[in-house]
Amino acid sequence: MTALRPSRAAGLGPMLIVALIAAALYWPLMLAANVGPAGRTLASGAELDCRTALACASQLRNPVMPAPAQLAQGFVRLSTPVTSPLALPYNVGVTAGETLLGLLLATVTGIGLALLLVASRAFERATLPWLVASQTVPVVAIAPMLAVLLGQYGVQGFLPKAIIAAYIAFFPVAVGMSRGLRSAEPLHLDLMRTYHASPAQTYRLLRFPASLPHLFTALKVAVTSALVGSIVAEISTISFSGLGKMLAENSRASDTVALWVIMAYGAVLGVTLVAFVNALERWVTPWSRR
């Protein structure tokens, strides 16, 4: 454990440096983004508690980029009370649940497809182009149709969003897992044949352990794709909770401060989900720790 601490501290250093640079650049970028709208607002004769465009840039009601004080007020306004269905923490939990369920469905589907792709070259040649084509369909277009189709069979609410998230996330899992299953060393495969190992034993003892690094790399991509899919599904279908529902409502209300706060919550949720996959990888593959 002690040997891991310096490397973790070293890994946090660049992240902190980037965060400090972003914080230092935020104020001048905010002024540059808002000074034009502030000048037009002043020219229109609107009554503001400032006289110059530069002074008004941090006081606009709906700024292009909110000032730090406006962001802080937006976080407090949208985060309390925490347990309220209208608050962001509750809606983040809903979106996180849809994303994790979608990731689970995508993992099961992707691993199943990977096994078929590796087992049969004919199946790979016949289906891989269609799998690639399935990822070119815009989610905004397919989400309402899929929700209507599932609704005809009584599937409503939480599950359709998770299925849409899985639809986006299964492809990187299938590709990564199939590459991982093929990554076993030829010498090791020859050794398994020498021992007269069955195909099931070869997969269990050699191919699956060799594929795990590829699988978890794919899962880190898939979990972010599933998150985007969940949010787009919430926007594109009838939703009563979730980050997508809050984005749609505040976009219609032109509340740009709320949109920035929601995006910040979504970014934190994405980082948290990737960290969860990282922790799962360390638990499943303890031998890969450095």
Residue 101's domain is classified under what CATH number? 1.10.3720.10
Residues 256, 142 within the same domain: yes
- In terms of domains, do 156 and 233 share one? yes
φ, ψ at 45 (rounded to 5°): 90, 10
Are the beta carbons of 242 and 91 closer than 8 angstroms? yes
41 shares its domain with 162: no
Q: 204 lies in a domain?
A: yes
**Residue 178 corresponds to which amino acid?**
S
How many whole angstroms separate alpha carbon 92 and alpha carbon 157? 16
Same domain, 248 and 157: yes
Asked whether residue 79 is assigned to any structural domain, the reply reads no
CA distance 173 to 18: 30
The answer to whether the CB of 56 falls within 8 A of the CB of 42 is yes
Nearest-angstrom CA–CA distance, 165 and 102: 5
pLDDT bin (cut points 50, 70, 90) of residue 3 is very low
Task: Examine residue 22 and state whether it is found in any structural domain, yes or no.
Answer: yes
- Helix residue ranges per DSSP H, the chain: 4-43, 53-56, 68-79, 88-119, 121-134, 139-151, 158-181, 186-194, 199-202, 208-236, 243-252, 256-284
**For the chain, what's the residue count?**
290
SS3 82: coil
Q: Is residue 71 part of a domain?
A: no
Express each pLDDT in 125-158 by its tens digit. 999 888 888 888 887 778 778 877 877 777 777 8
Last residue of a domain, one of 33, 65, 97: 65
Residue at 8 is within a domain:
no
pLDDT tens by residue, 74-114: 999 999 888 888 899 999 999 999 999 999 999 999 999 99
Do both 37 and 146 map to the same domain?
no
Tell me what percent of the chain is helix, strand and coil, each rounded to the nearest 5: 80, 0, 20
Q: Are residues 61 and 95 in the same domain?
A: no
Q: Are residues 94 and 232 in the same domain?
A: yes
pLDDT tens sequence across 175-191:
999 999 888 888 887 88
Tokens of 270: 């994405």
Same domain (yes/no): 163, 38: no
In a domain, 73, yes or no: no
Residues 24 and 94 in one domain: no
Rounded Cα gap, residues 86 and 246, in angstroms: 8
pLDDT for 278 equals 92
Q: Give 14-47 pLDDT, tens digit per residue.
A: 878 888 888 888 889 988 888 888 888 888 877 7
**Is residue 113, in this structure, part of any structural domain at all?**
yes
Residue in 210, 207, 188 with CA at minimum distance from that of residue 199: 207
Residue 80 lies in a domain: no
37 and 100 belong to one structural domain:
no
pLDDT band at 9 (very low <50, low <70, confident <90, very high): low
- Closest C-alpha to 92, from 225, 286, 264, 275: 264
243-278: pLDDT as tens digits: 999 999 998 888 999 999 999 999 999 999 999 999
Tell me the CA distances in angstroms from 179 to 23, 173, 174, 269, one per residue in order: 40, 10, 9, 29
Give me the half-sphere count of Cα atoms (radius 13 Å) on the Cβ side of residue 237: 30
- Is 166 strand, coil or helix? helix
- At 2 the pLDDT is 45
Between CA 252 and CA 237 the distance in angstroms is: 15
> Structure tokens of 201?
């034993």
pTM: 0.86
What's the pLDDT score for residue 8?
56
146 and 283 part of one domain: yes
**How many angstroms separate the CA atoms of 50 and 16, rounded?**
35
> Letter for the amino acid at 288?
S
- Share above pLDDT 70 across residues of the chain, in percent, rounded to a whole number: 95
Residue 10: pLDDT band (50, 70, 90) is low
Q: Which amino acid is at 71?
A: L
Q: Is 256 found in the same domain as 127?
A: yes
pLDDT by residue (tens digit) across 208-242? 888 999 999 999 999 999 999 999 988 888 778 89
Instruction: Write out the residue range of the structural domain in which residue 192 sits.
Output: 88-288
Total tally of structural domains belonging to the chain? 2
Question: Does 166 have pLDDT greater than 70?
Answer: yes
